[in-house]
Structure formats: C-alpha cells, structure tokens
Amino acid sequence: MPDITNLLLDTLSASDAASIQPFLKPVHLKQKQVLFGMGDKIDAVYFPTGAVVSLVVGLSTGETVEGAMVGRDGVVGAAAALDSKIAVSRGVVQLEGNSLMCEVEALRGTALQSHTFLSTLIRHEQTLFAQAQQSTACMANHELEERLCRWLLRARDLCCSDTLNFTQEFIAEMLGVRRTSVTVAAHTLQQAGMINYRRGKIDIVDLEALLASSCECYQSVKDQYALLTEPRH
C-alpha cells in the first residue's frame, strides 16, 4: 500500500520514533472532514500517510483561501504541541485517506523529552509558515492558470496519484477565486492536453507540460519540504 508512511516521522531518530510510536493511532480521514475550526482548541495532531489536508483562512464575506497544503511530508496541528493551543486556520481534509493521530498532550510530552524531536516540530512549523508566505506571494503575482497548475502538482505529490477527486467549487475555495474562473482555467489546461476533467475528478495527462506551465512557487515549496524531510540521524 502506498499510504503507510509519513515522511516527517521517517526522519526521526530510532529513539525519538520509539518514544512517539505508542501514542500514534491510525485513523481514516474523509474528504471535507473538518479537523478543527479557526479559533478552536486543538486536541489532536495528524501525521497524514495518504490523506491531504488544507489549512484554510475564512473571511467575514464567507470566502475562503488556502494558506497551506499538508500531506505525507508533514504534520497538521503541531503548533498546539508547542503551546499554541488555538487554531489560527481551519483544517479541512482535501483528499480522503489514512493518517496517524496523536493527542496533543502526548506529543508535547514526548517533544519536551527530546531536543531533536522538538527541533523537528519547530522546523516543520517554519516550513509551513514559509509555504503560507509563498501562497500569499503566488496569489498576488501569478496568473490563475499558473496557480492551478501549482496546486494540482502539489496535491499530486502528496496523494501519489495522477487522479485527483476535486470539484471545481472546492478548487475555487482553495484558490480564493470564483468557480467560473476555475472552469475557464481548467478548460484551458484540458484543451492544451495537460489534464482531463470530468465531474468531480481531474486526471493529470501530461505531467511535463503541467510542470512547465506552473509558477515557480511549486518548486519552492517542494524544495522546502525536501529539506525538512531529509534524514538527520
């Protein structure tokens, strides 16, 4: 099975892995499941092994925009283990799949017993912050088609599949644009032979073309996570 590991957990030393292992519980996360809302107290953190989670910020107008996307190369809610118990964004499952769950207090207790484990969590949160900053710059400077390519590529990397189960409404919410705008952009990519879109499902047909059409933000975020998940033991 492809979704049996979390790359961040794989970077832990043998002793750190052994200390956190008893507290990890396998769970299955369903698409659109809300793990926590903005302002909620976070009680559990998630190490996705197959699921993909979006960290979303909502506006008073009802509009939303994705700040970061977390999958098998990261952890969702780790800031709570670093004493930031209140969520500053909404965690919603973007793609259904498996995950390992750990209660916040157990993760905090384990991290406080190990400088290396604590360092890994801090580096992850820094990487997550960098991704959010990259997303902000991307929204301000890049065309929607480039952003859509970047978003699809990142989702593909995290779920390890060329088939993505998304509706246009969901993509529009994540990118902070109107559904009609996503429809036009997706049609352009389909006409160019990069994707095949049918209701609720996107197949990536030409990966190289999609990479060439994406903005630089895709590779920047990928490089940041590659550094984070590089083994240090």
Report whether 54 contacts 71 (CB < 8 A): no
Express each pLDDT in 187-227 by its tens digit.
999 999 999 998 889 999 999 999 999 989 889 988 888 88
Predicted pLDDT at 163:
93
143-214: same fold as 7-139+221-228? Answer: no
Q: In whole angstroms, what separates CA 218 from the centre of its chain?
A: 13
CATH code for the structural domain at 143-214: 1.10.10.10
What class does CATH assign to 7-139+221-228? mainly beta
Give residue 59's Cα distance to chain centre.
Answer: 20
pLDDT for 37-67, tens place per residue?
A: 988 999 999 999 999 999 998 777 777 788 8
Q: Which two tokens stand for residue 82?
A: 């670093």
Under 8 Å between Cβ of 154 and 72 = no
Place 1 in a pLDDT band, splitting at 50, 70 and 90: very low
Instruction: Catalogue the E-assigned strands of 61-215.
Output: 64-70, 90-95, 97-103, 163-164, 195-198, 201-204
Domain parsing of the chain, residue ranges: 7-139+221-228, 143-214
The whole-model pTM stands at: 0.89
